[in-house]
């Protein structure tokens, strides 16, 4: 019978050890590649503008995620306020850039997980968790004591440090990472992170090392593994071919990949002429063809 890996991690006492290591990282914050080095225990703010407590925008069963996450009762999404990446075209700009949300206690975060599980959700899906992983870990033992027993999903933009991810091994059974751009200059312009392609490649390697290819149960619902999202951008700015080459050649041709067609100019995208339009059907179909040509054999429907 399936059991989330964090249950065993907690029983062995390893989870508490990870929590203590994460606390130290927050004192001179180096949780993500921005390495702001502020003391978030004293509510000093770096790029993410989140201090000691988790900041949440909303939580509810979500039916717009990938089908292995949604199943019949939805994915239990917890939308984290702010983001360590900050794409100029973000579709959740009010949350990621404007700080829409509210501070909550660790106890409240634990109770949110239980509430979502009680609603029948198949997993707990933390959206943009990178900058609050210590807070998530603080809340997790409380949720376990209250009966949490469904997979945790790490739903990230892909700008994650390997060192932080290593502390999460055995906590998250499902990693869902974006791979947004394969070009440094594009990443620099659109999210002020010229190192994004290299960071994302290292992070996705580590995620796959921990959980492998996506595994689903007899109902088609995800239990463990890696999902990669790739948003098609106007004028080929996402660099789809290089992304698919990397996944097929360095991760697995059986990687569960979602080529996404939903780009639209949000946030301040209107200030960037090259992305101030929706993508065409031709651009989307071309991206799907590229994925197939490069050997990706498991594309989301």
Q: Determine, yes or no, domain membership for 298.
A: no
Q: Determine, yes or no, domain membership for 131.
A: yes
Q: Determine, yes or no, domain membership for 301.
A: no
Q: Domain range for residue 259? A: 5-293
Q: Determine, yes or no, domain membership for 256.
A: yes
Count structural domains, the chain.
1
Helix (H, G, I), strand (E, B) or coil at 298: coil
Helical H segments across the chain, by residue range: 5-11, 14-27, 67-70, 93-96, 106-118, 133-145, 162-167, 184-191, 196-211, 240-246, 281-293
- Alpha-carbon distance of 220 to 264, in angstroms, equals 30
Q: What pLDDT is recorded for position 128?
A: 97
Q: What pLDDT is recorded for position 75?
A: 98
Q: What pLDDT is recorded for position 193?
A: 97
pTM for the model:
0.97
Q: What pLDDT is recorded for position 141?
A: 98
Q: Determine, yes or no, domain membership for 300.
A: no
Q: What pLDDT is recorded for position 301?
A: 76
Residue 222 exposure: Cα atoms within 13 Å on the Cβ side: 31
Q: Determine, yes or no, domain membership for 30.
A: yes
Q: What pLDDT is recorded for position 289?
A: 98
Q: What pLDDT is recorded for position 69?
A: 98
User: Which residue has 């990443």 as its token pair?
Assistant: 187
For residue 191, give the CATH number of its domain. 3.20.20.70
Burial-class residue 172 by CB neighbours within 10 Å (0-12, 13-18, 19+). Answer: buried
Decide the pairing of beta strands 174-178 and 55-62: unpaired
Q: Determine, yes or no, domain membership for 245.
A: yes
Low-confidence ranges of the chain (pLDDT < 50): none
285 — alpha (psi -120 to 50), left (phi > 0) or beta? alpha
Listed residue (224, 99, 220) closest to 172, CA to CA: 224
Q: Determine, yes or no, domain membership for 104.
A: yes
Q: What pLDDT is recorded for position 113?
A: 98
């Amino acid at each position: 019978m399936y059991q989330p890996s964090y249950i065993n991690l907690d029983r062995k006492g390893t989870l508490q050890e990870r929590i203590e290591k994460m606390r130290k990282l927050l004192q001179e914050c180096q949780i993500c590649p921005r390495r702001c080095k502020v003391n978030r225990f004293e509510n000093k703010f770096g790029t993410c503008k989140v201090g000691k407590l988790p900041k949440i925008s909303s939580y509810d069963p979500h039916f717009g995620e990938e089908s292995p996450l949604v199943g019949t009762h939805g994915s239990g999404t917890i939308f984290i306020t702010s983001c360590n990446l900050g794409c100029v075209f973000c579709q959740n700009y009010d949350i990621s850039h404007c700080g829409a949300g509210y501070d909550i206690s660790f106890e409240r975060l634990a109770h949110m997980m239980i509430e979502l599980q009680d609603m029948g959700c198949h997993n707990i899906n933390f959206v943009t968790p990178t900058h609050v992983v210590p807070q998530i870990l603080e809340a997790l033992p409380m949720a376990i004591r209250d009966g949490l027993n469904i997979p945790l999903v790490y739903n990230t933009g892909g700008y994650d440090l390997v060192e932080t991810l290593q502390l999460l091994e055995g906590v998250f059974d499902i990693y869902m990472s974006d791979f947004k751009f394969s070009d440094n200059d594009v990443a620099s312009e659109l999210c002020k992170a010229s190192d994004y392609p290299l960071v994302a490649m290292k992070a996705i390697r580590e995620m796959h090392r921990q959980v492998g290819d996506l595994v689903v149960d007899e109902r088609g619902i995800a239990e463990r593994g890696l999902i990669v999202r790739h948003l098609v951008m106007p004028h080929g700015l996402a660099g789809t071919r290089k992304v698919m080459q990397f996944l097929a050649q360095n991760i697995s041709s059986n990687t569960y990949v979602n080529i996404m067609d939903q780009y639209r100019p949000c946030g301040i995208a209107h200030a960037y002429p090259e992305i101030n339009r929706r993508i065409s059907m031709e651009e989307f179909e071309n991206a799907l063809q590229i994925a197939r040509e490069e050997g990706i054999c498991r594309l989301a429907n």
